[in-house]
Amino acid sequence: MRTANLRLKLLSLLVVVGLALVATARADEFLASEYQRQTIYHSPQKPGFTSWVGAWTMPDGSLMVSFTQATGPIEGRPQAPKEVQHRLTWPPPGQPGYDMTGLDLHNVHLRSTDAGKTWQQVSADPFKSCMNGVTNEAQTALTDGSVLRGVFGFYLPYDPDLPQTGFLQRSSDGTKTWGKPELPLDAAKYSTWPRRIRLLRDGRVVLLAGVVQAAVGSQTRAEFSAMVEPALLVSSDQGRTWKGPLAATLIEQRGGWTEEFDIAELANGDLLCVFRRASDAKRWQSTLRKSGDTWIAQRAGPSVLPHSGQPELLATREGPILHVATSGIHWTSDAGQTWHKLDLPGTAYYPRCVQTKDGRICIYGHLGGDDAYGKADQSIVMDSFRLTSHDIAIANRKSLTIDKLACERIPLGEADDYKPCIAKLPSGELLLTAFHQYKRDGNKVLEQSLLFRSPDGGRTWTGPQRLDLLGREPYLTVLKNGTIFITGHLLAQDVRNEWGYTTGFLHRSTDGGRTWQSTRIESEQIKPKASNHTTRNVLELADGSLLLGVDYDGGGGPYFVWRSTDGGKTWDKSQKCEPHDFKSQYGFFGGETWLWQARSGKVWALVRVDSNEMPIKDRPIKAGNDQADHFILFSSANRGTTFDRIRDFGDYGEMYMSLLRLRDKRLLLTFTVRDLKPPLGVRAIAGGETDDGFEFDFACDRLMLDTRTPVGKDQGGGFGPTVQLEDGVLVTSYSYRTEDGKTHLEVVRWRLP
């Protein structure tokens, strides 16, 4: 934009000043909605025995569930040999029904390709044991699509060829067949029990296991349990080799633990740990502090979370970490310092939890408990819900009836993607553009335009597609017939700029954004070497013709209104425009102007101006940078030949404005607040439309759509705008900046009361 060089200097000065922190949340910030429970599997026999569930998502987004199934007679079965009973301390004294010898035992795998609505059995590999399960809980998909599972070989006494300790197996055909056992630790030194397999953001795999520093076969199960300690093993090659074990507890706190614990990765790379103690009415928790490529255990202590078997944690895309248990579902946004309970029933037994691509949280477990065979009719159930938040506050509420709005937030893209713009095609598909800046030698940059697509109202996104289009800050316009325009400008210091000055571009697509035709805004014959720009949007007038504002920096224009009567195939570029009472070294249209037509036909220009040059009436300020810019309304009664200055619009530091006609006849103004009024981010105000224009009250009923950028950061993106879906849901895009200086993309789904 006109101050792009200044912005780039500001960006280049941003350094990592600390690790990303998780802000403390209100107890009512996150809520559960759309809760439901469904049975997804029952044994062919009744009463059924289906226990010890594992769950994960495949790279293609499909869901998988695994569990132990036992069938066969309840009475009259053989018992395990005495030596096996002694070694495994099984069955429990006086409870022979727990001995599974002589039953048909299988590890059953189900898959769903429709987000859990229906399930198909994929496989059921058999095993023999007196125990009631050997695997399933420790199971997940790797990035290459293979499935890795942990097996407790100690529970397979009837197959002496298998390692009698924890081992891993992998499947490359969706669990239909399994490879040979792989030992993560030296069996001469360690005995292990795999409990969870977790994937980290950096691609590494973490195996959570109970570990005893003793040779395999040297202990009974009771002796193993008395000595076990929770530990982590870490792999950087998809589980083929492992580093560790890394102790999850301090040396001075050793003893009294079990093999049952879980972790969730925090934003700064630390690991939140929740443990089950051998004899305690509460969970215990601690943090493993990240140090280089490893972690250091910290002191553990009792948590407010009640005891309930194996802990299960889920780091959600909305931000909080869930603790899922039969005793209830709790969340934390401050690394476990505080826990808040969701208004949901407790889960089925020994739950496993995943989040689908569209954000729905699915929890799997078995009805029943740690039951003897035939004593309970077990089945596999799925609880599901969405995590919404009440974090859209309404500032200075006046006419609206509530103080805050529930919403869904969906992250997309990668760190340092910046300034998203969202639009809706006639088909209902959503498009979102953004750009990513790459530094090059000699103070040069390469700014890559990105395109994302959502088929489901912004809940899931494909992409990014790297567009072969020039220009930063790509801004979308979609015509009624589905023609798409992107405006942007290519910085002079972009390595692809062959013209030597910042130059605007208009890109057009008639096939949903799959192919594009580009038009460069030229300065050569008009104002040589002057930076040029366009309005943010292309305005489709009521008669179907199009307007695009074009101008040149340096003061005095010239200013043009390009016109098209054929949907943008061709443009009449000759009509000059005269903005009255406008004097600036920057452009009239290039100041991020946004165009809109009233019912009367009057054309409005929402114009961003330099606040030193054109201050708000009777309120001049001395602005130090362009973060203090503001907007002024100009209108034209002659389709852009002239524009008259009408009034100031909003306050200093409020920019990137756009209007949306809502289905209920109101108007929605979406805009960004910069560094003068923290917290930074996107705001929205509902207003009314008049024949000639619109009315908004900036003092009241401000919807705080985005406040993620921490106080103290002078910029974070914002940008907007907003689209409305057929069901009335509003979707707003924005970028925000974290403590480490990186920007992130997000959309928020919400409803206007």
Residues 300 and 381 reside in one and the same domain: yes
- Burial (Cβ within 10 Å: 0-12, 13-18, ≥19) of residue 37: middle
Tell me, what DSSP letter sits at residue 617? T
Claim to verify: residue 515 and residue 470 sit in the same structural domain? yes
The partner residues of 485 in beta bridges, in order of sequence, read 477, 508
Closest among 208, 251, 214 to 230, alpha carbons compared = 208
CA angle 82, 86, 91 (to 5 degrees): 85
- DSSP E strands in 594-689: the ranges are 594-597, 603-609, 630-636, 642-649, 654-661, 667-673, 681-689
Write out the two tokens for 55: 């769950």
pLDDT, position 256: 95
Between strands 578-579 and 642-649, the pairing is parallel
Q: 512 with 535, same domain?
A: yes
Is residue 225 helix, strand or coil? helix
Same domain assignment for residues 610 and 650: yes
CATH number at residue 606: 2.120.10.10
152, exposed or middle or buried, with CB in 10 Å at 0-12, 13-18, 19+? buried
24 lies in some domain: no
Whether residue 3 is contained in a domain is answered as no
And the tokens for 460?
A: 């899931």
CA–CA dist 41, 390 (Å, integer): 35
One domain for residues 550 and 659: yes
Res 714: pLDDT? 66
Given this model, what pLDDT does residue 267 score?
87
**Do both 532 and 571 map to the same domain?**
yes
Instruction: Give the separation between CA 510 and CA 514, rounded to whole angstroms.
Output: 8
Is 83 among the domain residues?
A: yes
What is the domain count for the chain? 2
The dihedral region occupied by 543, where left means phi > 0, alpha psi between -120 and 50, and beta the remainder, is: alpha
Q: Which two tokens stand for residue 528?
A: 């040589």
pTM of the prediction?
Answer: 0.78
Say whether both 457 and 337 belong to one domain: no
Which residues on adjacent β-strands are paired with residue 364? 352, 382
**Range of 372's domain?**
30-390
Say if residue 424 is in the same domain as residue 314: no
List, in order, residues 6 or more apart from 526 with CB less than 8 Å away.
552, 558
Taking each continuous run of H as one helix and of E as one strand, the counts in the chain are 3, 50
Q: Which of 390, 412, 442 corresponds to the end of one domain?
A: 390
Q: Answer whether residue 9 is part of any domain.
A: no
pLDDT at 10: 29
Cα separation, 597 vs 542, whole angstroms: 8
Q: What share of residues in the chain are helix, strand, coil (percent, to 5)? A: 5, 45, 50
What is the model's pLDDT at position 26?
Answer: 53
Structural domain ending residue among the three candidates 390, 419, 437: 390
How far is it, in rounded angstroms, from Cα 108 to Cα 130? 18
Q: Which residue in the block uniquely carries the two structure tokens 């009449």?
A: 572
Rounded Cα distance between 325 and 352, Å, is: 9
pLDDT of 403? 87
pLDDT value for 676: 82
For residues 370 and 460, membership in a common domain is answered with no
Query: In this predicted structure, what is the pLDDT of residue 13?
Result: 28
User: Which of 367, 390, 413 is the last residue in one of the domains?
Assistant: 390
pLDDT for 346: 95
**Tell me, what amino acid is at 201?**
R
Q: Would you say residue 620 lies in a domain?
A: yes
Sign of CA dihedral 164, 165, 169, 175: positive
Do 465 and 365 lie in one domain? The reply is no
Q: Is 523 exposed, middle or buried (0-12, 13-18, 19+ CB in 10 A)?
A: buried
Q: What tokens were used for 607?
A: 């114009």
Residues 6 or more apart in contact with residue 477 via CB below 8 angstroms: 423, 484, 485, 486, 487, 537, 538, 540
**Partners of 124 in the beta sheet?**
108
DSSP 453-495: EESSTTSS-EEEEE-----EEEEEEE-TT--EEEEEEE-TTBT
Q: If we measure between CA atoms, which residue out of 510, 512, 390, 511 comes closest to residue 454?
A: 512
- Report yes or no on 16 lying in a domain: no
| CA 329/CA 628 separation, integer angstroms | 45
- Kindly state whether residues 661 and 706 are assigned to the same domain: yes
Residue 25 lies in a domain: no
C-beta separation of 418 from 438 below 8 A:
no
Tell me the CA distances in angstroms from 739 to 18, 140, 357, one per residue in order. 6, 32, 27
Residue 656 near residue 734, CB atoms below 8 Å: no
383 inside domain: yes
Residues 6+ apart with CB under 8 A from 525: none
Q: Please tell me the total number of residues recorded for the chain in this structure.
A: 753
The residue ranges of the chain whose pLDDT is under 70 are: 1-28, 714, 716
pLDDT (0 to 100) of residue 15: 25
Q: How far is CA 274 from CA 137, 247, 303, 315, 563, in A?
A: 16, 14, 8, 13, 63
Cβ atoms of 454 and 474 within 8 Å: the answer is no
Joined tokens for residue 180? 């040979």
Q: Are residues 378 and 409 in the same domain?
A: no
